[in-house]
Structure 1
């Protein structure tokens, strides 16, 4: 494994943020078992005979919220930094030019992440239910401790990039500087324009896209704008070309990122499938019954299965048939993921329409938990399509952002998909509340009623399918407007060159 040039020269570098993040999450997990082990950390149990329950005290609520807050912060920072930190370990030439190596890294990263979800939904849930919540929370603490030890043991072998100043501040500086220099005139043909560059930067001139931002890095008077060491005297009036290109890279991906938010809306519909599964026959054989809440695991399993098939079967077979290495670009995989997401919600609407009609015929209109003679295996196609869609789009998004952004923005690139999932969850709640208000009338159940037999979740999912179809069309437009990704211009020129 190669080390970064700055590391080889012995320059001081900052320890990877992942080390501190794992400690943060481990600290949050470590406090949760205390709530279950220490009696004073939780309210006393309810008296069953009188159905009397005492509310939690202020300290107990604070302790619980503090623990959950630390867990959330640790989990969020680990998810955003571990992906970027792992990509930093790739060799520079692989990072820049070998798209297949990048694709394989992101695919197997997602596969291992999904595999950890399977373990959490099976083994850890089994421990919590059958062996107690104290041990159930203690097991993740031990796992996080083991992971932290492994990370520290590998610290001498990691590539640790030299830290820069605040990236977010630099992006705001470009906006302010471009506004303050808005009166400057730009000409792509003028060779007299002097641009402020970082020392050792390979970028000589800013790109022609979003040209109004180029005003932020134009040196008007070198004696006034630059200090003797070549730095800007006022970074809020003069920025570097690298700063301008970083902001351009972020703004360019926003339209494509928004199409991933709609996919997040479809994925975040997690409560209805549980209600749906509870009304269907979930038996395997005569004795074993799959819990309704466990059907989500098929989404995770199908995602892992797709990665294995794609990497070990589909690409090798396609390469053998065509006689040359086959590689699907990040934009192609993201688009195909959106297509599968559209098909998944369409299948949900069709299956729910059939399930609801059977429930009504069986006389379960007023019984939302009445089991109907319909196998829960009908839920597998929609779960598999959702898993395939999430795997394709999520891996494609991560690889797209990491590849398109400058290497200094890898942490932001890794955070975009998580941020999109959060925005998608908020929009899903807003959409559900809006449809509930619009479809609920006097003496009439809304489409998303708690009684799924009286509601019309099939119509609700048809609305989601409509949004997904429009989103697919928007993605096609945004993808073409974005132009070729990094490295695609060279591939096209090589194919055209005889």
Structure 2
């Protein structure tokens, strides 16, 4: 989404140096003048993942005889796990192997998991028999069937976790200019959502109208194509070099500062440790900031801390000033990260509940086509993809002309908060209308009966949340990537995945609590009060937005020239 995506840029990189836009078609997979592939590693691997995970609720209900609310809860747990695993992959990439090798291994693990899902969907011995028509008595699922199914889910989830956001880091590392990195993230999310749109339409349609074995089989093919394209571009990649776990350094900062609690802080620069390189590191290392001053003791030298050659004698008693400042950076950004958690939780609940709502509604589009219930989420992804283009090509340049600068990541995230709150309110109004129709036709006690209401009524709320995603998700990734220490680049891009993972787990807890306390969410949604749940989420969203505004007001950019013009070393 940047003018630098040109033939000239690709040619200038070719054969001379690694990195740059020449790597773009292999990592992202957009069509270029030289490289004609229409899909890349991200496109293929996302298509494979979207194909099996997007229709998981329906697969559980139809193939494993699971109740609807239970299926939604299981799906949320799986989504949460899928979003937690990128942090594991990111830490391994940052600390030991680098992004390329983590992506390579993870894509193979993903392939193995999806193959097991194909076997589960294909072999009758690996899934329970369907329930008898009109009966609630179903054959129980055996331990072997559960074992194979959940092993496949686990492997596919681990593989997805090690590839998706690690690809974002590998791609951003190919560029030196923040402008190009920001443009890359826009393209990353555009391709991510576009691939999931294809999965939710084409692959889910195959699963619903042919069989799950053919749909999962397409996922295997997509995974293989993504792997092949990714490996074919390896000669162009600029590889990142891991330098050991930064989290060990953070632990040392905590331990060293606690050990020196009684030490009086010095105001003399010479009393702090800048590293083994002496003068060189004194120039490169950041000056210790005034915030979290108690941590500065970790870098303050006392007798016996430093050897005669300038190296550290007691690693858990002394740290470099850079390690202290890196840890402070993570602490400063944590409040903003927590606001994103409470932003993503309503989205997670809305995602699963929208599928259950769609199951009760008229899903016909025209006389012959019936939209699969899981595909209703495609509206979110489609609107996100389209609005990402509008933001990058029109809204951001327009904002720059008016104000003289591009919108900051915090401003983009703030707009996403507002749109998500509005989406929850619209969801409540639409569900109230659906329940009114249910009452008019006396369908409260008729589970499985289709309500005479078109699925198009769900589209406005899904479009709003999709536009909100286009603002806040890329804004958060750009903020974390640019603000986190260099040693945590892979972890920074995976932070958004950690947010989503926590959100799915929190959403599961919220739904369980609502079920126990209120009775708003019975298995038969026609006899429930889902609209009240949406109103509750809207109110919580308003409270969280107030918390976000406070955190954003107090935050000062460390590595990026933001709204205040420049970094504030004394923040």
Answer yes or no: same fold by TM over 0.5.
yes
Asked if 2 retains the 8 angstrom alpha-carbon contact of 1:279 and 1:370, the reply is: yes
Any residues of structure 2 matched to 1:421-436 within 5 Å, and which? 421-436=500-515
**Distance in 2 of aligned mates of 1:182 and 1:219:** 13
- Going from structure 1 to structure 2, the CA distance change for 1:408 and 1:131 (only over 3 Å counts) comes to same
**Residue 289 of structure 1 pairs with residue 370 of structure 2:** yes
Equivalent in the alignment of 2:161: 76
Task: Find out whether 1:492 has 2:492 as its counterpart.
Answer: no
1:338 to 413, 417, 422: 417
Instruction: Give the match for residue 45 of structure 2.
Output: none
Q: Which residue of 1 aligns with 2:170?
A: 85
Deviation at 1:438, TM superposition (A): 2.2
SS in 2 for 1:273: helix
Matched with 2:34 is none
1:211 maps to which of 270, 273, 293:
293
Number of residue equivalences? 468
Are the equivalent residues in 1 in contact too, given 2:204–2:375 (CA < 8 A)? no
- Aligned residue for 1:442? none
Matches within 5 A, 1:108-123: 108-123=187-202
Secondary structure of the 1:225 match is coil
Matches within 5 A, 1:397-416: 397-416=476-495
**How big is the shift at 1:137?**
2.6
In the TM superposition, what are the counterparts of 1:251-270 in structure 2 within 5 Å?
251-269=331-349, 270=351
Task: Select 1:162's aligned residue among 227, 241, 246.
Answer: 241
Provide closer, same or farther for how the CA distance between residues 131 and 325 of structure 1 changes in structure 2, counting only shifts above 3 A. Answer: farther
Decide which moves more: 48-57 or 309-318: 48-57
Q: What is the rounded CA distance, in whole Å, between the counterparts of 1:240 and 1:340 in structure 2?
A: 43
Separation of aligned partners in 2, 1:483 and 1:161: 28
State the shift of 1:266 in Å: 0.9
CA distance in 1, matches of 2:117, 2:367: 39
User: Which of these residues, 286, 310, 313, is aligned with residue 391 of structure 2?
Assistant: 310
Write the mapping of 1:447-462 to structure 2, written as runs, cut at 5 A.
Answer: 447-462=520-535
TM-score (norm 2): 0.75
> Which sits farther off after the overlay, 139-148 or 31-40?
31-40
Q: What is the CA distance between 1:312 and its match in structure 2?
A: 2.1
- The alpha-carbon distance between structure 1 residues 34 and 294, as it changes in their structure 2 partners (threshold 3 A), is closer
Give 1:431 shift: 1.7
Name which of 542, 546, 560 aligns with 1:473.
546
Distance 1:244 1:458, change over 3 A: same
Distance change (3 Å), C-alpha of 1:490 and 1:333:
closer
CA distance in 2, matches of 1:425, 1:474: 21
Structure 1 410/460 Cα, relative in aligned 2: closer, same or farther at 3 Å? same
> How far 1:335 moved relative to its partner?
0.8
Q: Distance in 1 between matches of 2:566 and 2:481?
A: 23
Aligned-residue CA RMSD (Å): 2.9
Report how far residue 256 of structure 1 moved. 0.7
Which of these two proteins has the greater Rg computed from alpha carbons? 1
Preserved contact between residue 113 and residue 155 of structure 2 (Cα < 8 Å) = yes
Moved more, 463-472 or 292-301: 292-301
Q: Would the alpha carbon gap of residues 259 and 291 (structure 1) be closer, same or farther in structure 2, given more than 3 Å must change?
A: same
Report the CA distance between 1:490 and its aligned residue: 9.2
> What are the Cα deviations for residues 355-403 of structure 1, in whole angstroms up to 9, with x where unaligned?
2223212322323544444433221110011111122111111111001
Q: Distance in 1 between matches of 2:247 and 2:522?
A: 43
Q: Which residue of 1 aligns with 2:252?
A: 173
Q: CA deviation at 1:314?
A: 2.2
Secondary structure at the counterpart of residue 398 of structure 1? helix
Deviations 1:193-215 (A, max 9, x none): 22232645411432222111111
The alpha-carbon deviation at position 24 of structure 1 amounts to 2.2
SS of match in other structure, 2:390: helix
Aligned residue among 188, 193, 196 for 2:271: 193
Residues 286 and 322, structure 2, Cα contact 8 Å, conserved in 1 = no
Shift of 1:139: 2.7
Cα deviation code 1:167-192 (max 9, x no counterpart): 222211111111111112224x4344
Cα distance between partner residues in 1 of 2:215 and 2:447: 32
| Distance in 2 separating the partners of 1:38 and 1:366 | 36
User: For residues 334-373 of structure 1, what are the structure 2 equivalents within 5 Å?
Assistant: 334-373=413-452
Assess, with a 3 A threshold, how the Cα gap between structure 1 residues 483 and 20 changes in structure 2: closer, same or farther: same
- Distance in 2 (alpha carbons) for counterparts of 1:233 and 1:149: 48
TM-score, length of structure 1 as denominator length: 0.85
Q: CA deviation at 1:115?
A: 1.0
| Equivalent position of 2:406 in the other structure | 327
Q: Does 1:242 align with 2:315?
A: no
Where structure 1 has 5 or more consecutive residues not aligned to the other structure, the ranges are 5-11, 440-445
Structure 1 residues 467 and 112, CA, compared in 2 at 3 Å: closer, same or farther? same
Distance in structure 1 (CA, Å) of the matches to 2:225 and 2:524 = 45
Correspondence 1:56 to 2:135:
no
